[in-house]
Amino acid sequence: MTWKTFFDFSTMAHRHLVFVYVGVWTLQGGYLAWTAYNWRKIRSPRA
């Protein structure tokens, strides 16, 4: 498989393959970003 065939949206199977890989990275990255945002928001009071 190549990048070109990976982003081939001609069939449902190909579309769903891209949705899975992009979706997983988005969700995992989103949760990490939310945690990092709150980490910065709540300053350590004893630091």
User: Using CB under 8 A, which residues numbered 5 to 44 contact another protein?
Assistant: 5-6, 11-14, 16-17, 19-21, 23-24, 27-28, 31-32, 35-36, 38-39, 42-44
What's the rounded Cα separation, in Å, for the pair 25 and 43? 28
| Torsion of Cα atoms, 13 then 15 then 18 then 22, to 10° | -130
CB-based contacts of 7: which residues, under 8 Å, 6+ apart?
18
2 binds another protein (CB under 8 A): yes
Chain residues in the site for another protein (CB under 8 A): 1-2, 5-6, 11-14, 16-17, 19-21, 23-24, 27-28, 31-32, 35-36, 38-39, 42-46
